[in-house]
Amino acid sequence: MRIFLNDDMHEVAPGTLAAALETLGFGGRKIATAVNGRFVAAAARPRTELADGDRIEVVAPMQGG
Amino acid sequence: MSSFYGVELKSRLLLGTSRYPSPAVLERAVKASGAQVVTVSLRRESGAGRAGQSFWSLIQSMGVRVLPNTAGCHSVKEAVTTAHMARELFDTPWIKLEVIGEADTLQPDVFGLVEAARILSEDGFEVFPYTTEDLVVAERLVEAGCRVLMPWGAPIGSARGLNNVYGLRSMRAHFPDIPLVVDAGLGVPSHAAAAMELGYDAVLLNTAVAEAGDPVEMARAFALGVEAGRAAYLARPMEPRDMAVPSTPVIGKAALGD
């Protein structure tokens, strides 16, 4: 199925957010996530099933003022 | 000593971590400033990117407390979702809440700010709202659960100093028991000193240090400015007068005129 991660399209096998993140190179990383504009806590990623066309945001710590 | 949601800080300078020439300069500037709190943010990262991870390692190595922001958020929903992501990522209930309302001035959308502050406070966040000096908005923020207020000095990154001294002084008088932080718009240490002389509890700045010719030395200069302003406030400055008053006594002066 197709998902959009930070606006980039990816083809992934149907499954959970945790699985998609692992596939796309985010395993073990310090990140926070949202799906379709809703925050998804790290603990909830393994039970969050993705659907075709879902929009995922992945953010990491960054400099800020 | 001022308490920010129960945390007492020796340093009254909160420093941003953005726009420094290099991570090494950032690290030295934070050390020179004496800041115990630095602001941080969150941005998208790709699967191959490592910038966020290395930045986080650097911050952790400094042993400072972090105040994550919701910079760049223009809606309540964006700000609230960003705050949740920040709380998990940085493992802190503190959030510097920004809901931007105007692109040129980066003026807060105070209506959205109050709404987001209420939602987040009810959800256990400890909100540091980036606001204006408007007293009614400030009252609403306190009612919404904010125990710190952060009015702007001037637009973010403008280096204009305190645009509305009267407004900031009124705010201090109106909220004697709420920790107040001038956030944004400071350009030079005398601006920070002026804020502290008004009785503000702290200042928060970033660009003035990061974009100085020598950020490390400017960080040290701001620390001195903050310290001088605080000491002056505690020493109770004299009131301004309209007319001159000779500082040297006139009585006993030699009569040398014609």
The answer to whether residue A53 sits within a structural domain is: yes
Separation CA B78–CA B99 (nearest Å) = 9
Separation CA A14–CA A51 (nearest Å) = 7
Give the pLDDT score at B47.
78
Q: How far is B60 from chain A (nearest CA, A)?
A: 11
The answer to whether residue A65 sits within a structural domain is: no
The answer to whether residue A29 sits within a structural domain is: yes
The mean pLDDT of B183-212, rounded to a whole number, is 97
Give the pLDDT score at B49.
81
Check which CATH number belongs to the domain holding A35 and give it: 3.10.20.30
- B217 pLDDT above the threshold of 90: yes
Q: How far is A12 from chain B (nearest CA, A)?
A: 14
pTM above 0.80, yes or no: yes
The answer to whether residue A48 sits within a structural domain is: yes
Q: B239 exposed, middle or buried (CB, 10 Å; 0-12, 13-18, 19+)?
A: exposed
The answer to whether residue A44 sits within a structural domain is: yes
Amino acid identity of B66?
V
Give the pLDDT score at B149.
98
Strand B202-205 relative to strand B13-16: parallel, antiparallel, unpaired?
parallel
Give the pLDDT score at B50.
82
Residue A22: which domain range?
2-59
B62 neighbors B33 (Cβ within 8 angstroms): no
Structure tokens at B168: 């900031």
pLDDT tens column, B88-115: 999 999 999 999 999 889 999 999 999 9
Say whether residue B225 is in contact with chain A using an 8 A CB cutoff.
Answer: no
The answer to whether residue A50 sits within a structural domain is: yes
Annotated active-site residue B96? The verdict is yes
Q: How far is A63 from chain B (nearest CA, A)?
A: 5
The answer to whether residue A42 sits within a structural domain is: yes
pLDDT band at B1 (very low <50, low <70, confident <90, very high): low
Q: Do B18 and A37 touch (CB under 8 A)?
A: no
Separation CA B170–CA B201 (nearest Å) = 15
The answer to whether residue A12 sits within a structural domain is: yes
- B225 pLDDT above the threshold of 70: yes
pLDDT band at B2 (very low <50, low <70, confident <90, very high): confident
pLDDT tens column, A3-37: 999 999 999 999 999 999 999 999 888 999 999 99
Give residues 24 to 63 of A whose Cβ lies within 8 Å of B: 24-26, 29-34, 37-39, 41-42, 57-63
Structure tokens at A61: 């710590």
Please tell me the total count of domains within chain A: 1
Amino acid identity of B217?
E
Q: Do A61 and B89 touch (CB under 8 A)?
A: yes
Q: Which residue in the set A41, A62, A65 is minimally distant from B52, CB to CB?
A: A62
Query: Quick one: closest CA in A to B15, which residue?
Result: A65
Helix and strand counts by DSSP (H, E) for chain B: 9, 10
Amino acid identity of B64?
V
Which residues of chain B have a CB within 8 Å of the CB of A24?
A: 47
Say whether residue B17 is in contact with chain A using an 8 A CB cutoff.
Answer: yes
